[in-house]
Chain A
Amino acid sequence: MKRSIIAILFAGVVFICGCNDDYFTDGGLPDEKASVLNVSTLDYLDSQKGQFDTLATLIKLCGLEAEVNKPGNTFLAPQNYSIHNYFKLLFPEDNWPPLTALTAEQKEEIAGIIRNYIIPDKQVERSGLSPAYSYETTRGGTKARFNLIREDYLENVNMGAAYLVFGLNVGAGNVEQYRSVIVVTSGLRSTNGIIHVLDSNTHIFGFN
């Protein structure tokens, strides 16, 4: 009698542990410190060749290193593809000159655009934002606004992820007209401020 009970127990144990959960390789969570860069904003742009090398060269050409590295600011970084589309717009026949050969007023216009991507002495962070608009003024003096948009989670309305949206006023005179872009990587902390990377699909350098 004893032997049979032991037999049942043994079979049961083999049976249950037969379905361990080695099927799920848990890669763990990304570590928080990944968003802390320990370099200045411009050095970070230099380090990310694939995404920002055109932007970094334009900042140096327009002499805005100090502006970008000013402590306590927020920098909205457009990616290379956005700048590529900008030049395709200016020179439709793909014959745009090398960056170094830009004329003075072209450089001046680009500098103006870059200044509109800097929010001086204000670190705009995700925690401070909500779906309602909050307004700032850019280094270039134009009005800008930030807000959050939420997605759905498994068809549960508005319970999904939230993304930052950065809008710039492009309206002439007192008529306000905002063009907006979604932030694809938010909250990178450089030694001197916050960096938000902008979507490159539909956003063109200078919001046009």
Chain B
Amino acid sequence: MKTIIQRTCFLFTVLMLPVLVVAQRVHTGKVTDDSGEILIGATIGVKSTENFTTTNEKGFYTLTLKVGDTLVCSYVGYKTAEVVYRQASNLTIRLESNVKELDDAIVIGYGSKIRQEVTGSISEIKMDKITETQVADSFESMLQGKVAGMNIQLNSGEPGSTPTIIIRGLAAVSRGDASSVSEPLYVIDGVPIISRSSDEFNITSTNVLADLNPSDIDDVVVLKDASAAAIYGSRAANGVILITTKKGKRGKPQISFNARTGINFVPQLLDVAGGVKEREQVSRLYQLYAPYGVSMPAMYTDITNPFYNNSSDWQGYLYNTSVTQDYSGSIRGAGDFGQYSISMGHMDNKGILFNTGFKRYSTMASTSFNALKNKVVINNTLAVSRTNQSRNVGALSTGFSSLLPLPDAPVVKGAEVFKPGKDSNVNDRIRFSSDATLNVIKDLVYKVSLSLEYTRSMHDSLGVSRRTLRASNTSGNLESRNLLFQNTVTYSPKFGDGHSLSFLLGQSAEKIETKLTEVSSVSAAPTLSETVKWPTGNSIGSSNYTASSILSYFSRLDYAYQQKYMIGGSLRADGSSKFGQANRWGIFPSVSVGWNFAKEGVFEGMDWLVNGKIRASHGISGTTWSNDYLALGIMDGGKLDQYNSLLMISYGGIAGFSPSWYDGFKNENLTWVKSQMSNIGMDVSLFRNKVEFVFDAYEKLTKGLLLTTSLPTTSGYNEVYRNAANVLNRGLEFTVNTNMSSRKQFNWNTGLNFALNRNRVVALPDGNADIIKTSTSGQDFGSVVRTGAPLNGFFFYQSQGIYQTEDQIPVNPKTGARLVGLQSKKLAVGDRNFKDQNGDYIIDVRDRIFAGDPNPKWTGGWTNDFTYKNFGLNVISTFVAGRKIVNTALLDRLKYGKGFAGTKSMPNFDNYSIWEKSGDMAKYPTLNPWNDASQIVSYDSEYIEDGSYFKIKTATLSYNLKPKMLSRIGVGRARVYCTLDNLVTFQKYSGPDAELITIDGFDDSKGYPMRRMMLFGVSLGL
């Protein structure tokens, strides 16, 4: 597959190299801006021919011209100039600086709009400079800290893992263990793509968007408020991310190549007590708490046993530095015929943990042809990519006891750390989209587009137990197809003096199908074959299919008068197959208004105010959920249990259906989740665009979130689904961009953005009754969904220290019975002293208080870009403030059950104040492993910490080589750079990295820390 792509591209480049016809006289000239400053790299050439070149570092160009040729010269940020060549010897072309730089269009849904006339809250990020000097599994991590109100957090250091993206606050209520995230909609070149697979269908946990090569992306536009996103109505409530890929530009074909290698360093790891320290800690716990007759395992008592004579640092052995490589090349060009762009990329990111890594092979070809004298433009895009995430068979633990010898110790020579077998996760994606734009009559454009996206994930795992020689291999194949057919008619006449109208009418039909086939076999005899062999052992296969389709009609009307007063509105109707017949359609209107006050007469004289606009918008957009057939009341045929047995599927060989106990029964009136969002904003740019200031205030009320209420156990059902919860998100967003360029070729521009967000649950079913995230039988998450409190708010038991003496345990005067502890435990000295809020002498869910909000108050980023002559220093940092989190990773390591000794590594108890005897003023209660119920619980207000952090994410030092040297070897421009990634994190959090905290505020990094990377690279442009 890969080699075919390489060969076709090579052939293409050979064909495409234009051959210059040398007939006329060679001529030199200079290109300068209106103040005489030379312009390096301006493209200049003879119109409607191939004869184009760029100006060198002195601003000179050489061209072969004959009298009468019209020269076309263009440069970013300047107006394109056309000059007819008479006979003057050195022709200096002066380009007028394009003051109205704001005029270049910005991509919005289904078309583009002049920046002046934009009335929604839209942020644009130019990706070119970022992707040139940074490497990442997925482009999302490169957007960190770039857009106000968009908080991106990586949850695990494992290569290829999925980051969490939340735009303008969380708007998803979840009852079960996994907390659902309100994900934005991703659109590439106008086509919505598959960005997440639902849990039921997620067989390779690779990030679905990791197969998009960041170097292919030209710019990313984030539509944040309802009016901007309304055009994507039915899935745009959580924001839309419009991705535009790089296209060819006029002039010489732009051939670029970028090669970089990075070294990943191991960061701070979990603290471990080794050797005798572990023995002391284990024997201390046994000595303090072990009941009569229970003795330590033989590995601790048999001190002369040579096998356990170790103090092994397992993390040191399993984590070590690794190498990341990334190569990408592209050929792009444009002419009168249209444009072409071919790019290829390969990334090999080895993880710092043994045997983990992420590879990506991607290629993309996009062409557009102007036919019928520019009446019809046909664009075609074909993107093929494959990602391969390698992982260990059965999660490799890094937490073995330090008494066990390391695999390279002589006593266990020849032993392997991993179970024999393989675990391969390969994801392919083929994206084909083609559209034809027909300029019917002046200002009337009809566009029809068809796109087909096909993703396939293959998970093959083989695990062989050396002892029982049992080989169990599973092979899963997930295919999903996304078919989209869109028709839009746009009529945008300009009339009178400065009136401009734009009317869009469109229809789109989309169908998403997902098919999962899983086959597994457990065979007694070792098959050692990696594919599932039928009839050996018991082989079981199951397949699952789901599909949903959306039909939409949308329209938009925008009117602008002399780019001073703007008003826009859109109306959209969407039907989805996920809902019952009765309420399948949702109506999503939006309206927006803008006023460019800087153009008013009164501001005429003030040249320091370059541009100023006030805008407001209000609109409704929607979201659905991943389960496609919820409203139809599906039955459940049962699925394989954790050992691939059919106990849940058949009885005596006969299989049948039962209700799906979790989704409850048929519920006709499930419908769209609708978000009402209103947004007021102001964009101001001053001092000839040296300072740009954007301010936004928004309020988003999400109504009818899907929520379950639990049913009595005697019904047999667990839950029934209803559109029931409303969540309110309010926030402010500030962005300040400054670019100071002084004479001596030094300029420094910064991008500072910060956003405040507060979310609150406003309505719940059953008369706003509280919803405990899991049932009350004790082992729950500690979050309660309560009206008036933030989502995922911490509802913990209020800790009042530890019971130091017997008489501190309160006794109920009426019954003489003592306070009953959590999970009805009989309280003893050393247990956690929780406050009995309602005084009923029982600690249960009614005694919980609101203890903290895991949703970050302030999020933002600060980017600094210094350029001095040929040097460039770029520092990107992100910060989160006002967030409460819990270090559950550490708490899980302190929860000891009766079989704790020797099964996992122990933290060094000296670092933590742990209670042992009465009188100890300690933070952690007794660790008694034989206690009826463990006293270390994650929903204890004692362990709440401040989750704010300031992280310098990347620092890049780059140097542009002098073109003089390069031209000898035929290279147009070259840049050498060194980037440090995940440089340093300033935090008060006790765990390794405050960024690896999930949205519900718990440390879920599963022990895979975030690596630090030092990257060296060179980027060439011919």
A: residues with CB less than 8 A from B are 4, 7-8, 11-12, 15-16, 18-19, 21, 23-30, 34-35, 79, 81, 84, 126, 152-157, 159-163, 182-188, 197, 199-201
14 contacts between A and B (CB under 8 A): A18-B265, A25-B277, A26-B311, A27-B279, A27-B311, A29-B275, A79-B295, A153-B404, A154-B400, A155-B465, A155-B466, A159-B412, A184-B298, A200-B293
CB-based contact A23/B265 at 8 Å:
no
B1012 contacts the other chain (CB 8 A)? yes
CB-based contact B313/A185 at 8 Å:
no
Known contacts A26-B313, A182-B298, A200-B293; is A154 also within 8 Å of B417 by CB?
Answer: yes
Shortest Cβ gap from A89 to chain B (Å): 15
Known contacts A8-B978, A15-B1014; is A156 also within 8 Å of B276 by CB?
Answer: no
CB-based contact A29/B309 at 8 Å:
yes
CB-based contact B292/A81 at 8 Å:
yes
Inter-chain contacts of A186 with B (CB < 8 A): 302, 304-305
Task: Determine the residue in chain B with the shortest Cβ distance to A34.
Answer: B303
Known contacts A15-B983, A153-B412; is A23 also within 8 Å of B271 by CB?
Answer: yes
CB-based contact B467/A155 at 8 Å:
yes
Known contacts A26-B311, A27-B276, A186-B304; is A201 also within 8 Å of B295 by CB?
Answer: yes
Task: Determine the residue in chain A with the shortest Cβ distance to B469.
Answer: A157
B274 contacts the other chain (CB 8 A)? yes
Inter-chain contacts of A19 with B (CB < 8 A): 265-268, 1012
B376 contacts the other chain (CB 8 A)? no
Given contacts A19-B265, A26-B313, 6 further A-B contacts (CB under 8 A): A15-B980, A19-B266, A25-B908, A155-B465, A161-B298, A187-B304
Closest 6 interchain pairs by CB? A27-B277, A161-B307, A27-B276, A187-B304, A27-B275, A156-B415
CB-based contact A27/B274 at 8 Å:
yes
Inter-chain contacts of A155 with B (CB < 8 A): 419, 465-467
Expressed in whole angstroms, the Cα–Cα distance for A34 and B278 within the complex equals 17
Of the candidates A7, A27, A199, the one having the most CB atoms from chain B within 10 angstroms of its own CB is A27
Expressed in whole angstroms, the Cα–Cα distance for A188 and B416 within the complex equals 33
Expressed in whole angstroms, the Cα–Cα distance for A81 and B308 within the complex equals 26
CB-based contact B305/A161 at 8 Å:
yes
Inter-chain contacts of A35 with B (CB < 8 A): 303-304
B984 contacts the other chain (CB 8 A)? yes
Shortest Cβ gap from A141 to chain B (Å): 29
Inter-chain contacts of B571 with A (CB < 8 A): none
CB-based contact A201/B293 at 8 Å:
yes
Shortest Cβ gap from A167 to chain B (Å): 17
Task: Determine the residue in chain B with the shortest Cβ distance to A156.
Answer: B415
CB-based contact B316/A162 at 8 Å:
no
Inter-chain contacts of A126 with B (CB < 8 A): 304-305
Shortest Cβ gap from A52 to chain B (Å): 13
Shortest Cβ gap from B386 to chain A (Å): 32
CB-based contact B465/A24 at 8 Å:
no
B143 contacts the other chain (CB 8 A)? no
Inter-chain contacts of A162 with B (CB < 8 A): 305, 307
Known contacts A7-B957, A18-B267; is A153 also within 8 Å of B415 by CB?
Answer: yes
B914 contacts the other chain (CB 8 A)? no
Inter-chain contacts of A184 with B (CB < 8 A): 295, 298, 301-302
Task: Determine the residue in chain B with the shortest Cβ distance to A20.
Answer: B268
Inter-chain contacts of B416 with A (CB < 8 A): 154, 156
Expressed in whole angstroms, the Cα–Cα distance for A34 and B419 within the complex equals 36
Known contacts A12-B1014, A23-B268, A23-B271; is A30 also within 8 Å of B309 by CB?
Answer: yes
Inter-chain contacts of B1012 with A (CB < 8 A): 15, 18-19
B882 contacts the other chain (CB 8 A)? no
CB-based contact B313/A24 at 8 Å:
yes
Inter-chain contacts of B301 with A (CB < 8 A): 184-185, 197
B57 contacts the other chain (CB 8 A)? no
Expressed in whole angstroms, the Cα–Cα distance for A163 and B302 within the complex equals 9
Task: Determine the residue in chain A with the shortest Cβ distance to B269.
Answer: A23
Shortest Cβ gap from A79 to chain B (Å): 7
Inter-chain contacts of A7 with B (CB < 8 A): 957
CB-based contact B957/A8 at 8 Å:
yes
Inter-chain contacts of A152 with B (CB < 8 A): 466-467
CB-based contact A163/B412 at 8 Å:
no
Task: Determine the residue in chain A with the shortest Cβ distance to B407.
Answer: A154
Interchain pairs with CB closer than 8 A, number: 146
CB-based contact B984/A26 at 8 Å:
no
B871 contacts the other chain (CB 8 A)? yes
CB-based contact B276/A30 at 8 Å:
yes
CB-based contact A157/B467 at 8 Å:
yes
Expressed in whole angstroms, the Cα–Cα distance for A7 and B523 within the complex equals 60
Shortest Cβ gap from A32 to chain B (Å): 8
Chain B 250-291 residues near chain A, CB threshold 8 A: 265-280
Task: Determine the residue in chain A with the shortest Cβ distance to B266.
Answer: A19
CB-based contact A24/B417 at 8 Å:
no
CB-based contact B265/A161 at 8 Å:
no
B310 contacts the other chain (CB 8 A)? yes
Inter-chain contacts of A11 with B (CB < 8 A): 955, 980
Expressed in whole angstroms, the Cα–Cα distance for A172 and B542 within the complex equals 59
Inter-chain contacts of B292 with A (CB < 8 A): 81
B383 contacts the other chain (CB 8 A)? no
CB-based contact B295/A24 at 8 Å:
no
Shortest Cβ gap from B342 to chain A (Å): 34
B315 contacts the other chain (CB 8 A)? yes
CB-based contact B266/A25 at 8 Å:
no
Inter-chain contacts of A25 with B (CB < 8 A): 271-274, 277, 908, 910
Expressed in whole angstroms, the Cα–Cα distance for A156 and B407 within the complex equals 11
Of the candidates A24, A81, A183, A186, the one having the most CB atoms from chain B within 10 angstroms of its own CB is A24
B974 contacts the other chain (CB 8 A)? no
Expressed in whole angstroms, the Cα–Cα distance for A152 and B733 within the complex equals 59
Expressed in whole angstroms, the Cα–Cα distance for A161 and B957 within the complex equals 53
Expressed in whole angstroms, the Cα–Cα distance for A187 and B310 within the complex equals 18
B452 contacts the other chain (CB 8 A)? no
User: Chain B 296-328 against A: per-residue CB contact (8 Å), 1 yes, 0 no?
Assistant: 001101111101111101011000000000000
Which single member of A21, A153, A187 contacts B269 (CB below 8 Å)?
A: A21
User: Chain B 958-979 against A: per-residue CB contact (8 Å), 1 yes, 0 no?
Assistant: 0100000000000000000010
CB-based contact A24/B316 at 8 Å:
yes
CB-based contact B305/A163 at 8 Å:
yes
Shortest Cβ gap from A23 to chain B (Å): 5
Which single member of B274, B299, B910, B980 contacts A161 (CB below 8 Å)?
A: B299
Expressed in whole angstroms, the Cα–Cα distance for A156 and B467 within the complex equals 7
Task: Determine the residue in chain B with the shortest Cβ distance to A189.
Answer: B304
Chain B 365-423 residues near chain A, CB threshold 8 A: 400, 404-405, 407, 412, 414-417, 419
Which single member of B293, B304, B315, B467 contacts A23 (CB below 8 Å)?
A: B315
Expressed in whole angstroms, the Cα–Cα distance for A84 and B467 within the complex equals 37
Task: Determine the residue in chain B with the shortest Cβ distance to A26.
Answer: B274
Which single member of B265, B280, B298, B415 contacts A16 (CB below 8 Å)?
A: B265
Shortest Cβ gap from B482 to chain A (Å): 42
Expressed in whole angstroms, the Cα–Cα distance for A89 and B276 within the complex equals 38
CB-based contact A157/B272 at 8 Å:
no
Expressed in whole angstroms, the Cα–Cα distance for A81 and B1014 within the complex equals 60
Inter-chain contacts of A16 with B (CB < 8 A): 265
Expressed in whole angstroms, the Cα–Cα distance for A155 and B396 within the complex equals 13
CB-based contact A28/B276 at 8 Å:
yes
Inter-chain contacts of B307 with A (CB < 8 A): 160-162
Expressed in whole angstroms, the Cα–Cα distance for A153 and B467 within the complex equals 11
CB-based contact A163/B298 at 8 Å:
yes
CB-based contact A27/B280 at 8 Å:
yes
Shortest Cβ gap from B115 to chain A (Å): 36
Shortest Cβ gap from A24 to chain B (Å): 4
Task: Determine the residue in chain A with the shortest Cβ distance to B316.
Answer: A21
Expressed in whole angstroms, the Cα–Cα distance for A58 and B273 within the complex equals 40
Known contacts A16-B265, A23-B269; is A154 also within 8 Å of B415 by CB?
Answer: yes
Task: Determine the residue in chain A with the shortest Cβ distance to B905.
Answer: A24
Inter-chain contacts of B313 with A (CB < 8 A): 21, 24, 26
Expressed in whole angstroms, the Cα–Cα distance for A91 and B357 within the complex equals 65
CB-based contact A4/B304 at 8 Å:
no
Which single member of A34, A84, A156, A185 contacts B412 (CB below 8 Å)?
A: A156
Inter-chain contacts of B315 with A (CB < 8 A): 23-24
